[in-house]
Amino acid sequence: MSEYRIQLNWKKGPEEFKYETYDRTHFIRFGGGQEIRGSSTASTFGKEEYANPEEIIAASLSSCHMLTFLAVAAKRKYIVLEYSDTAISTLDKNENGKLAIVKIDIHPKTKFAQENFPTEEELKTLHELAHKSCFIGNSIKAEVIIHPSLE
């Protein structure tokens, strides 16, 4: 078993504490010392320039999938030169009528060395194996849709 810890801090500002007006800005400090500012989405009175939970969950899945994909590719003797992704989380009502992240689409683009270049089918298999082993993907209820492409 492993544990991973973050520290989240929020403090009320000078504004009145009403739903429409209180500042949602908070700080998230990760174990290694990196810190990011978070907020809610602009549509829920947050600050667009800061990361929101909907983006953070998409980033977590994207990062985990990439790291797992790289491990799977390396074990199968593929040399990955570049990897990029655009992840999109969809917030909607779930089957119980509650707001939830119901779907996360990832769009990984991968560039391989020419000496062992995967076919489209092999690329699909690499992503399927990565998804099955990605612990973040295994932890969330949202549907994950992978749209892989080669560069």
DSSP assignments along 48-105, one per residue: TTSB-HHHHHHHHHHHHHHHHHHHHHHHTT--EEEEE--EEEEEEE-TTS-EEEEEEE
Six-digit token string for 80: 């990955």
Task: Express each pLDDT in 41-75 by its tens digit.
Answer: 999 999 999 999 999 999 999 999 999 999 999 99
Residue 1 lies in a domain: no
Would you say 61 and 86 are in contact if contact means Cβ atoms under 8 Å apart?
Answer: no
**Taking Cα atoms as reference points, which of 112, 132, 114 lies closest to residue 123?**
112
Residue 16 lies in a domain: yes
Would you say 61 and 144 are in contact if contact means Cβ atoms under 8 Å apart?
Answer: yes
> Phi and psi (nearest 5°) for 20?
-75, -15
The model's pTM = 0.93
Task: Express each pLDDT in 17-28 by its tens digit.
Answer: 999 999 999 999
Same domain, 13 and 31: yes
- Per the prediction, the chain carries an average pLDDT of 96
Domain that holds residue 32: 6-44
Six-digit token string for 123: 């690329």
Same domain, 40 and 57: no
Residue 122 lies in a domain: yes
**CATH, residue 137:** 3.30.300.20
Would you say 117 and 79 are in contact if contact means Cβ atoms under 8 Å apart?
Answer: no
Same domain, 104 and 59: yes
Q: Which residues contact 123 (CB under 8 A, 6 or more apart)?
A: 110, 148, 150
> Phi and psi (nearest 5°) for 78?
-90, 145
Q: Is the pLDDT of residue 150 over 90?
A: no
Same domain, 24 and 73: no
Same domain, 35 and 61: no
